[in-house]
Structure formats: structure tokens, C-alpha cells
Amino acid sequence: MGRDIVSLVALFAVALAIDPMWTLTALVGVPLLVTPMMLVQRYIRRKMRQNRQIASLRTTRIDEVIHGINAVKLNRMEDYQSERFGRIVDLIRKGQIKMAAMGAVIPALVDIITGLGFVGVLALGGTEVTEGTRSIGDFMSFFTAIALAFQPLRRLGGLAGTWQTAAASLERIYEILDMRPAIVSGARIEPPASTEIELRDVRLAYDGHPVLQGLSFTAEAGKTTALVGPSGAGKSTVFNLLTRMVDPASGQVLLGGLPVSDYALPVLRDQFSTVSQDAALFDETLRENILLGQVAEEAAVRRAISAAHVVDFVDVLPQGLDTPAGPRGSALSGGQRQRIAIARAILRDAPILLLDEATSALDAASERLVQQALDTLSAGRTTLVIAHRLSTIRQADKIVVIEAGRVVEEGTHDQLMEKGGAYAALVRLQFGK
């Protein structure tokens, strides 16, 4: 741009010095370029913005298909997925072609307008030279200057399209850079005074669809509280509220008497050991998957993996704990992944334990063993447990029954059974007792 602009200024200065009238004639058509150029620029920018959005959809599709490759094969979705993907690629290709075509309009217009300018100069200057009012030398110098200006002008015209493409891409980059996180860390760096948990009239909706509708309960410090209820009732959501994966629309989530949003996020999250429904494993060794960046003594690691019965499958591996877990832990079975998650929680040794179907992927024998380890871990520790198995729930100090985002009953197993309400019905229905 710099070089072309300097060339243009110098060349037009020369042209003006030779003959202002000729220069004017050569340039008379240039204002005609302004409107089409603006229109084309706007068009390219809009198209580019659309294209970028479609391209992000393409990335999502690739990600889905690659991670769900087994589901694609098992359900024989190959053609369906190819077609779905093909449609997106097609849209992108058409968009690119339209943009390229529109981008070529500007240099073409520059060619036409400057061409017409040349004709004008030839006519005007030619007449003056034949009439003898100007010398042929002047005319040739002028013509050379204008001819030399032609290429830089053309290049600058072409740049307008490139500029718009880049601007549209930049817009999307800045959209992301300017995003503010929905969860803002609190300022309090002192850990909570106690581990008592209380939810007060908590409401939460996803896209207008209510999930929690005035949920209130307390979980006493040092006690085990079980959350029970049908699938989709909002049990896992309670855990997400406590660890601030999501904030409530209204109501309060209190830890040690203060709103969880008061605490700095690292301080808050350090209070919890979580074993969730979907343990995320990383493409690292088993040891690193258990340590998760912490430093721990070998003896502590051994204790954790024996309690979680990770040893059962690790010790037979030639590389032991240094075996890679594979991408997303794909080298492990579902039950093995769950045991790794439990070993993590044991090693982490946080004041509050959140167990979301922590043993659901284990067979009856391993479950009993792992459950014992979890019982030891939760003894004297504030524990919230979500489980569908009666054996886990009935030992809880308190059972909170959640239905459609509200607490419908609470009490001990015996109290609730005696009451013969929702819990008793659930037990009969789910556990056949």
C-alpha cells in the first residue's frame, strides 16, 4: 500500500506539472468508482462474515464425527454424515466463489475507467499536439506517467477486497476476545468458616426452560446428604451450582454461611473433590491423570489407587501407572475410568465430597469395594451424594428428594419410608422393594 500510494502521488504530481487539464481528463471517471467500490466492499464483508460462521459449523461437525466415530459406524451413518458435511462445504465453496467474483469487479472497473481516461487524454492531447500548441515530448512524458500509475491503482483497488475479508475475520476474532466470562470470581481468599451448604429458593433456567424452581435445602457439615430424584430433576445441576459451573438466576447458594460467589474461584473449587457422571480423562499417563498437576508422595498415590481399586487393573499392566490413558482416556474401560476419577478424589482430599453416580459404572463386586473406600473417605467429611442405588442412599444422614427442580421431601431413609410419600414410591418403583 505504501509503495503504491507513494508512486501514485509522485506520478500524478508529474502529470499535473505537465498539464493540469490533461490530468483532470484522465481522472474524470475516478469518482464513478466510489459507489460501486463501497457496495462491493459491503457485500464482501457480509459474505465473509456468513462464511466464517458456516466455517465454525464445519469445525463443530468434524469434531462431532471424529469423536463419535464409533456411533457413526455402528449406526451406519457414513452416508448421512458425508451428506451433512458436504452441504456445509458446498455452502462455503459457493460463498468463496461469490466473494472472489465480486472481488474481481473492482480491478475490472478500474481498468475500464482508466481506459476511458486514456481515450480522453489521447483525444485532447492528440489534438493539441497536431495543432502544435503542445510538444510531442510533453505528451509522451505525460502519457508515460499516467501509464505507470495504472498498475498501482489497480493493485490498490484489489486490496479493498482483501481488506474487507480480513476485517470480517478480525471482527469474529474480537468477538471472542471481548467476551466476558459469565462466571466472575469473587474476592474472598480465606477458605469458608465451615463446610455447611445451604441452598435458598434457588431458581435456574436453561434457555427459558426452568430446571430449578425454588430449590431449598441444607447439607450439614460432616454429614452425608443424598440427593434423590428422577432423571433430569436437577441433581447434577446442584453440584454445578456449588462449584460455580453455573450461577443461579435467583436465590442463594451458601457455603459456610456465605454466597459461593463471594469466594475466589480457586479457593471455592479447592473445597470440593468431585466424582462426576462423566469423568474427563486426558491423553497422559494414568499417574498424571490421577495427580492432575498436583504433587504427591508415592505412598499417598499408592494409598489412593488401592482404595479406589485402581491397582486391580494397573498392576497387571507392563508399564503400570505410566501407561498412557489414550485420547480422552479411550484406552480404559468405563469402570476403569470411574475408578481413576475416584482415586483422584481420594488423593485430592478436599473438605467436601461431591459424588455423582460415582460407582454407577462398576460391577456389583467392585462397587462394594469402592463404596467402602468412599465411605471411609466421606466419614466425618461433608458429602453430597447422588445415587440411584438404595444401598448408598439409605446410609445417608439425610435424604433430599428432588422432583422437577423442587424439594418434595427430606429426612432419613426410615422417616421417608414411614411417611410413604414420593421417596417411598421412588424406592418401590426404582429398586423394586
Residues that bind ligand ATP (CB under 6 A): 206, 211, 229, 231-237, 277
Three cell numbers at 144? 508515460
Rg (CA), the chain: 36
Closest to 146 in 3D by CA, of 171, 113, 174, 175: 113
Please choose, out of 49-57, 118-126, 194-202, 233-241, the segment that lies near Mg ion by the rule CB under 5 A: 233-241
The distance of closest approach from Cβ of residue 319 to Mg ion in the complex, given in angstroms and rounded to an integer, is 34
Q: Name the residue whose CB lies closest to Mg ion.
A: 236
Contacts with Mg ion by CB under 5 A: the residue count is: 1
Length of the chain, please?
433
Dihedral sign for Cα 403, 407, 412, 415, please: negative
Three cell numbers at 413? 431413609
Q: Enter the DSSP assignment of 408.
A: E
Query: What is the helix (H) or strand (E) element at residue 266, kind and residue range?
Result: helix 265-269
Question: How many helical (H) and strand (E) elements, i.e. helices and strands, does the chain have?
Answer: 16, 10
211 binds, among Mg ion, ligand ATP, none (CB under 5 to 8 A by kind): ligand ATP
The distance of closest approach from Cβ of residue 235 to Mg ion in the complex, given in angstroms and rounded to an integer, is 5
Q: Measured from the CB atom, is 236 or 378 closer to Mg ion?
A: 236
The distance of closest approach from Cβ of residue 379 to Mg ion in the complex, given in angstroms and rounded to an integer, is 24
The distance of closest approach from Cβ of residue 355 to ligand ATP in the complex, given in angstroms and rounded to an integer, is 12
197 binds, among ligand ATP, Mg ion, none (CB under 5 to 8 A by kind): none
Q: Measured from the CB atom, is 106 or 233 closer to ligand ATP?
A: 233
Match 480404559 to its residue by C-alpha cell: 332
Distance CA 114, CA 122 (A): 12
Distance CA 348, CA 304 (A): 9
The distance of closest approach from Cβ of residue 244 to Mg ion in the complex, given in angstroms and rounded to an integer, is 17
Distance CA 20, CA 336 (A): 85
Q: Measured from the CB atom, is 117 or 234 closer to Mg ion?
A: 234
Residue 232, CA atoms < 13 Å, CB-side half-sphere: 4
355 binds, among ligand ATP, Mg ion, none (CB under 5 to 8 A by kind): none
Q: Measured from the CB atom, is 124 or 355 closer to ligand ATP?
A: 355
The distance of closest approach from Cβ of residue 234 to Mg ion in the complex, given in angstroms and rounded to an integer, is 9
The distance of closest approach from Cβ of residue 191 to Mg ion in the complex, given in angstroms and rounded to an integer, is 27
Q: Enter the DSSP assignment of 344.
A: H
Three cell numbers at 204? 435456574
126 binds, among ligand ATP, Mg ion, none (CB under 5 to 8 A by kind): none
236 binds Mg ion (CB under 5 A): yes
237 binds Mg ion (CB under 5 A): no
The distance of closest approach from Cβ of residue 388 to Mg ion in the complex, given in angstroms and rounded to an integer, is 10
Query: What is the helix (H) or strand (E) element at residue 378, kind and residue range?
Result: helix 364-378
Query: What is the helix (H) or strand (E) element at residue 59, kind and residue range?
Result: helix 31-67
The distance of closest approach from Cβ of residue 67 to ligand ATP in the complex, given in angstroms and rounded to an integer, is 18
Q: Measured from the CB atom, is 236 or 359 closer to Mg ion?
A: 236
273 binds Mg ion (CB under 5 A): no
Q: Measured from the CB atom, is 236 or 336 closer to Mg ion?
A: 236
Q: Measured from the CB atom, is 122 or 205 closer to ligand ATP?
A: 205
232 binds, among ligand ATP, Mg ion, none (CB under 5 to 8 A by kind): ligand ATP
Q: Measured from the CB atom, is 237 or 382 closer to Mg ion?
A: 237
What angle do the packed helices 298-307 and 334-348 form, to 10 degrees? 130
State residue 188 phi and psi, 5-degree precision: -70, 120
Closest to 15 in 3D by CA, of 128, 155, 125: 125
233 binds, among Mg ion, ligand ATP, none (CB under 5 to 8 A by kind): ligand ATP
Closest to 249 in 3D by CA, of 274, 291, 215: 215
Q: Measured from the CB atom, is 294 or 430 closer to ligand ATP?
A: 430
Binding site for Mg ion (CB under 5 A): 236
